Every structure is written in C-alpha cells, then in structure tokens.
C-alpha cells in the first residue's frame, strides 16, 4: 500500500464527522438514483411483458388500393420462409354491432384461426371463462372481452345478435370470455375466420396478417423484408412509437435529474476536502519539506475523494436495492377503473450490470471532483505553511 493511500485513510478516520456527512450525502443521492432506476426499469420490462408480448410484432396489411389480401395462404408461406419468423396468423376484422336483449354495443369483431392466433398473443392465458379453442371446433361462436360481456350482461352459452350495414346478420353463441386488463376487454371480439368471412360476405380473403418474431427487436427489419413482397407491413415500434418515445423521454429525464443529485452530493465532498486542505496546511507543508513531490500531495486528496465516493456509492446502492425490493413487494389493490391493468405489484427490476455501473460512475465522478482540492493542496508553499504554524 502506498504512503499516499495510508495518509488519505488516516485523514478520513481523523475527520469522522466530515466523513460521515460526505458519505451520507452521496449515499442518499445514490439511494434515490437506485430506487428510481429500478422502478423505471421494472415498469419498462412490465410494459414489454404485458404489451409487446401480446401484440403482433409485425402487422401486414393489403397492397396499396386494395381492401383485402387475396391468396393469403401463398403469402403466409412466403412470409413464414423469412428467417426470424416464429408464427403467422391471418385475420379478417371489421366493426360490428352486438346486441343482447335490450343492450347493444359496437365492437371490433376479428375472425381468426384460433390455434394460429394463440401463437401470436397467447390469448388462452387470458381466458377467465370458457375456451378460446372452441372457436375452431364449432360454428357461429364468439369469444368476447370481460368488460364487453359485463356491459352486454351476457354469460357463457348466451346468443348475441351481430349485425352491421352491408353485412349478413348472425346469431353467435358465447363460448369464452377473456380479460387482458387493457382496452381490448371492451373493444374486441373473436370469432372464427370462416364465420367472419360469412358475416362480411368476403369469402376466402383476409385484411391482415399478424406476425410474431423470435426477436421482437428485429420488427422493422422484418417489416422491410415483407414490404419487398408488395404488401404494407409495420413493426410494433412504429405502431406504438408514441408510447416508446414517452418511456424513453421519461427515463432520460429521470436519469438526468437524479444524476444531477449525485453531482451535487459529489460537490459536497469537494467542499469537505477544501476545508481539509485549509486545516491540514501545516501537515502539507511538512510533507513537502520532507521531500514529498507535488504529485503525491495531489494523490492523497484524490484518494480521499475517491474513497468517500466509493463508500457513499456502496452504502447508497445497498440501501437503494433493499428499499426498491421492499417497494416491489407492495401489492396493488384491484381498482374498478382497471387503471393498472393486470399489474398486481409495483414492478421493480434490479440488474447487476446497472448496479455496478452506478457504483463505478459515482466513484469516477468523485475522483474527478477531487482534482480541484488536490491541485489547491499542491499549490501550498511549504515554507509559508510551516512558518504559519
């Protein structure tokens, strides 16, 4: 161990009160940063798990000027041959008026092939009553969202009348109710592709194809590949670009604010070290008179700043992780407005690399801020320092 480091450690131990204040200020700032970052990462991951995992990663629509995709089986084969495609599901969707007894509501009715559609959004996991797969084995049946079922006052086995201008009215039996915790629960209804084609009088056509990818980050790349086939295609990052921008902006803003808090705390260390320089003037003079070079004096104060920053970062990170994990245990009570969707706990995510980065960044920042008091100490004239004593 170098003598500069030994002197730095002795200075820190000798000034316990100042050390406590400096470490406490940095620890508090780092703790706030760690908690905020953990919650932000948790919310973002929850968004990906509950939203991106439930939506098509790429949506294919008809060619320019067309209402439908013809010969869609051939197109599905061509899309499926593209590397990175995990599942493909054709659908025919449109608006319809649903009526049960005296209650009527408008809804999107989507005709799908249940086994293929389930590979896109895992709808079976969201079923609260009945069976999604029954659409595949029965005719004139429907699966509706929980809020829509509640407003129509329908239950399993009830028949609802479906109509729309220029469509063929049908009576569909409810075979399932799903709940996603999103707006889809009151706006979306599933039926079989054959039933939808019969209802819209559009046989053997679809107006969209949903695509799921092995890696959802490749959505724009795959969408561009599909566009080369002559069809419109849009990745989920384009469809939900507003939400992604909001998340990115919020994350950046939070990190800037809490980063500034850490900077302010680090300048508290500078202040403490400056006081240390003034009070240790005679000792600095003695060291210089004994032949200690200027670089050694600078090292002593930079070491002090780095050690204080490292201690504060370690304590703050540890406290922040404990508090963040405690917050993550807090259960969100079910709300009638369903504003939290399917989230039952405050989402918190702590990642080792993020934690190490915060500790390293705070340590580095304190080394940098320690340069000024170190240079100030190095400028002390040894003769004046000794004679002033």
- Comparing 263 with 196, the larger pLDDT belongs to 196
Please tell me the predicted confidence (pLDDT) of residue 336.
55
d(CA 176, CA 356): 48
Please tell me the predicted confidence (pLDDT) of residue 383.
65
Please tell me the predicted confidence (pLDDT) of residue 172.
93
**pLDDT of 92 strictly over 90:** yes
- Name the residue ranges covered by the structural domains of the chain: 3-52+243-387, 63-230
pLDDT band at 276 (very low <50, low <70, confident <90, very high): low
Please tell me the predicted confidence (pLDDT) of residue 141.
93
Please tell me the predicted confidence (pLDDT) of residue 319.
92
d(CA 276, CA 120): 64
Please tell me the predicted confidence (pLDDT) of residue 173.
94
**pLDDT of 167 strictly over 80:** yes
Handedness of CA 40, 41, 43, 44 (dihedral sign): positive
- Comparing 224 with 300, the larger pLDDT belongs to 224
| Strands of the chain, DSSP E | 58-61, 85-100, 103-112, 127-130, 141-145, 159-163, 170-178, 188-192, 208-213, 232-235
Mean pLDDT, to the nearest integer, of 351-362? 85
Query: Whole-number mean pLDDT of the chain?
Result: 83
Helical residues (DSSP H) of 280-370, grouped into ranges = 281-289, 294-328, 352-369
User: Residue 60, SS3?
Assistant: strand
**Token code pair at residue 225:** 């590949």
Please tell me the predicted confidence (pLDDT) of residue 183.
76
- Segment 208-261, tens digit of pLDDT: 999 999 988 898 999 999 998 888 999 988 887 777 777 777 777 777 777 777
Mean pLDDT, to the nearest integer, of 144-169? 91
**pLDDT of 103 strictly over 80:** yes
pLDDT band at 357 (very low <50, low <70, confident <90, very high): confident
d(CA 134, CA 192): 9
**pLDDT of 359 strictly over 90:** no
d(CA 221, CA 219): 6
Mean pLDDT, to the nearest integer, of 109-136? 89
Please tell me the predicted confidence (pLDDT) of residue 175.
94
**pLDDT of 134 strictly over 60:** yes
pLDDT band at 108 (very low <50, low <70, confident <90, very high): very high
- Comparing 278 with 32, the larger pLDDT belongs to 32
Mean pLDDT, to the nearest integer, of 323-344? 70
State in Å, rounded, how far the first CA of the chain is from the last one.
30
- Angle of the 371-378 helix axis to the 241-279 helix axis, nearest 10: 20
Q: What percent of the chain has pLDDT over 90?
A: 28
In 3D space, the residue among 321, 324, 312, 328 whose CA is nearest the CA of residue 370 turns out to be 312
Scanning the structure block, which residue is given the tokens 């003079």? 285
Please tell me the predicted confidence (pLDDT) of residue 58.
93
Of 23-32, 63-72, 80-89, 272-281, the one with minimum mean pLDDT is 272-281
């Amino acid at each position: 161990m170098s003598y500069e480091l030994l002197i730095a450690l002795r200075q820190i131990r000798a000034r316990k009160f100042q050390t406590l204040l400096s470490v406490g200020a940095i620890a508090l700032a780092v703790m706030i940063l760690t908690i905020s970052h953990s919650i932000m990462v948790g919310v973002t991951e929850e968004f990906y798990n509950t939203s991106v995992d439930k939506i098509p990663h790429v949506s294919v629509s008809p060619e320019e000027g067309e209402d439908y995709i013809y010969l869609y089986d051939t197109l599905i084969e061509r899309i499926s041959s593209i590397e990175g495609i995990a599942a493909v599901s054709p659908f025919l969707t449109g608006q319809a008026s649903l009526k049960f007894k005296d209650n009527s509501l408008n809804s999107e009715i989507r005709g799908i092939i249940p086994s293929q559609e389930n590979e896109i959004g895992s709808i079976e996991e969201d079923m609260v009553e009945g069976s999604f797969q029954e659409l595949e084995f029965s005719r004139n049946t429907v699966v509706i969202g929980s809020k829509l079922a509640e407003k129509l006052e329908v239950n399993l086995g009830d028949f609802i009348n479906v109509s729309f201008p220029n469509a063929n009215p049908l009576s569909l039996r409810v075979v399932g109710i799903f709940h996603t915790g999103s707006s889809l629960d009151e706006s979306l209804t599933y039926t079989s592709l054959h039933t939808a084609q019969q209802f819209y009088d559009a046989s053997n056509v679809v107006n969209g194809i949903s695509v799921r990818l092995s890696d959802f980050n490749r959505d724009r790349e795959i969408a561009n590949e599909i566009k080369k086939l002559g069809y419109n295609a849009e990745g989920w990052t384009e469809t939900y670009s507003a939400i992604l921008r909001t998340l990115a902006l919020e994350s950046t803003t939070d990190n800037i604010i809490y980063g500034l808090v850490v900077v302010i705390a680090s300048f508290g260390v500078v202040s403490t070290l400056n006081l240390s320089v003034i009070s240790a003037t005679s000792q600095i003079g003695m060291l210089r008179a004994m032949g200690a070079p200027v670089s050694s004096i600078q090292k002593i104060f930079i070491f002090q700043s780095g050690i204080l920053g490292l201690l504060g970062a370690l304590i703050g990170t540890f406290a922040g992780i404990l508090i963040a994990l405690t917050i993550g245990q807090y259960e969100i009570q079910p709300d009638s407005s369903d504003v939290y969707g399917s989230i039952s706990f405050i989402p918190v995510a702590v990642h080792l690399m993020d934690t190490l980065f915060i500790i390293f960044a705070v340590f580095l920042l304190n080394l940098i801020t320690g340069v000024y008091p170190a240079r100030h100490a190095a400028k002390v004239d040894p003769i004046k320092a000794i004679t002033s004593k």
